[in-house]
A and B are shown apart, each in its own frame.
Chain A
């Protein structure tokens, strides 16, 4: 019975408009990440600049969806699954806006990196990006089809992204130790990898919201956590800091 329309059919249209706008916004964010990554791989400054500019469209959509949701809350007083849809929309929209911001930031760093003569090519970053793009795509599918199983599957997938991020982190550390002249580029790359990893985190968040929207419940498992970089130290740094403590 939940699938049949409301007696007031314009209510259905309002809800559908919000859903469609979110799918559109998610699609834009996905394209943003793809373009930014492509710009990185091809060292294409022009594409990077386009990506930065396209962020404005996502920001506009965020405002539009916010307005739609507030209007619907005020005029329709939604309850139960309708209420969950509107509340979820408000949360998802701000996460998607962050995702597009990360992509734009990635593109900005590509512009900066393209000023450097050569770049340590870290193949893991495009791989991470591809994985995360799939997560975005599947999250949007789960959203559009009310598929809480797919959402849960995406939610678990974030672990693989974190693993890749850990290895990028270590890889970049070794480059920097080998050649201090690469530190600027490697730092940019580190942030790029971190941005992609954060986008993956946001897909886990959105998946949780989808599960709540569909079932009314939050996932029962603890959130997967695989980013270990916050505790990584290089060996001789550890020795130095221990020595410092001894003094």
Chain B
């Protein structure tokens, strides 16, 4: 899977900064191409949110994960049986039970998808609204600093 990154080991060892840079470039291209559009990744990223809360680049990534995970397809699985004994019979039985429950499950599923869709739309609009506000404020600060003759030196926090 990583053959496309093409990393070579030089006589004096490896340049890890360059490796990370190449991986990032390759990964970013794959994300843009939708190769990581996977509900499982979106779920796994939930514990990563706190660590990356300050990086606006990642807000975009999580929103993309949410978009990918939001519309659940409940028919997207194959009915199987792990036990070898009576497997064909058990698969048929499971399929029969599934078709009996389908009418009720589909109702819940469509309602859940509706809620998920509304939530993502809400989050996207909040994200856009605040991004726009921040852009406007930054432009205003830059304009004010320009009028005052350049930005002031950075002061320590606390």
Q: Are A and B interaction partners?
A: no
Interface residues of B (CB under 8 A from A): none
